[in-house]
Amino acid sequence: MPKAALIDGLQYANWSEKIFQQMRQGGVDAVHVTITYHETFRETVANIEKWNRWFERYPDLIFQGHSAADIELAQKTGRTAIFFGSQNPSCIEDDIGLVQVLHQLGLRFMQLSYNNQSLLATGCYEDDDTGLTRMGRAVVAEMNRVGMVVDMSHSAQRSTLEAIEHSSRPIAITHANPHSWHPALRNKSDDVLRALGETGGMLGFSIYPHHLQNGPACTLASFCDMIARTADLMGPENIGIGTDLCQDQPDSVVEWMRVGRWTKSIDYGEGSATNPGFPPMPDWFQDNRHFGAIRQGLRASGLDDAAIDGVMGENWRRFFAHSFQPQP
């Protein structure tokens, strides 16, 4: 029987050979990486060019993933498959044709909004949530057609529920936790999580400290108990990891994530004036070498081996397998 896959449902690190080496040391088979936030299409392409250089420079460590079969290829060749995603739809501008073009370039996930209102949907920081826009419904249908996953991690509740309902294929919340465990604005209500699970969608559990009970002081036991309870709520096959690891990033990057070019003021998002930068990660998960700790924590929380394999990667593998190809 092949080894269970280890897959991370979201990272946005300051990529370097060191981090790619750590992925290998940690036995990470695949990572969904954010390649763009508020960038235009052309700027997103420049980011893809940077990735092409990394793929060319470190072919023994990483390669671009296009389909679930690339996870097996990663396992066979001892490398990490990198799958592209966008956290905001800026990359498609106002042009639905760019959905297919970006899919051709390997984009496999796109958030319909990032905190703010977008052309497609409402973000979780807006006062009013008007659900999917006209273009939002059209773009979801196009994403369904070409095989690009709708990701609602940073979207507001009504928009998220409408995306779940409107999408003909299961969607994902790649990096967030249950609001019932830690009531952060970015964490999701049981209503959303139940609707997500009932439609075969996936939740990736975030280790970004603002999403954790007690922030960086969150214990591994608390995190893993929360996962076990969410398995009961959503079904053990609809959950995975989405660390939101932002390793080695300067604080200027979290400012870009929050502020983009949409305001001249500072917006602290999940941070604050006294805590504006990236928060420190919990001691039990500093980088890609530490997924083993989560596996052990899940065992201590009472999950059986099959459920643990599912959470650590097999559920993402199955989700990738029915999500990335064009609709027949």
Interface residue list for its own copies (CB under 8 A): 41-42, 45-46, 48-49, 52-53, 95, 97-98, 100-101, 104-106
Residue with Cβ nearer its own copies (94 or 232): 94
Which candidate, 188, 167, 186, places its Cα nearest to that of 178?
188
CB of 53 to its own copies, least distance (A): 7
Task: Say if strands 202-205 and 30-36 run parallel, antiparallel, or are unpaired.
Answer: unpaired
Nearest distance in Å: CB 223, its own copies: 38
Task: Give rounded-to-5 percent helix, strand, coil for the chain.
Answer: 40, 15, 45
Nearer to its own copies, 14 or 52 (CB): 52
Q: Which DSSP category does 188 fall into?
A: B
Minimum CB distance to its own copies, residue 79 (Å): 17
Q: Residue 109's beta-bridge partner residues?
A: 85, 149
Side-chain-side CA neighbours of 326 within 13 Å: the count stands at 7
> Which CB, 106 or 271, lies closer to its own copies?
106
Q: Which is nearer to its own copies, 49 or 127 (by Cβ)?
A: 49
Measured N-to-C along each axis, helices 134-146 and 97-104 cross at an angle, to the nearest 10 degrees, of 30
In the complex with its own copies, the residue whose CB is nearer, 35 or 308, is 35
What burial letters (b/e) apply to 73-85, b meaning 16+ CB within 10 Å? ebbeeebbbbbbb
* Cα Dmax for the chain: 55
Q: How far is the CB of 45 from its own copies (least distance, A)?
A: 6
Return the number of the residue (95 or 128) whose C-beta is nearest its own copies.
Answer: 95
Burial class (CB in 10 A: 0-12, 13-18, 19+), 90: buried
Between CA 109 and CA 88 the distance in angstroms is 10
Least distance between its own copies and beta carbon 300 (Å): 45
Nearest approach, Cβ of 118 to its own copies (angstroms)? Answer: 20
In whole angstroms, how close is the CB of 51 to its own copies at the nearest point? 10
| Cα–Cα distance measured from residue 294 to residue 302, given in angstroms and rounded to the nearest whole number | 13
- Closer to its own copies at the Cβ: 3 or 50? 50
Q: Which is nearer to its own copies, 98 or 163 (CB)?
A: 98
Query: Shortest distance, CB of residue 13 to its own copies, whole angstroms?
Result: 21
DSSP string, 27-71: T--EEEEEEESS--HHHHHHHHHHHHHHHHH-TTTEEE--STHHH
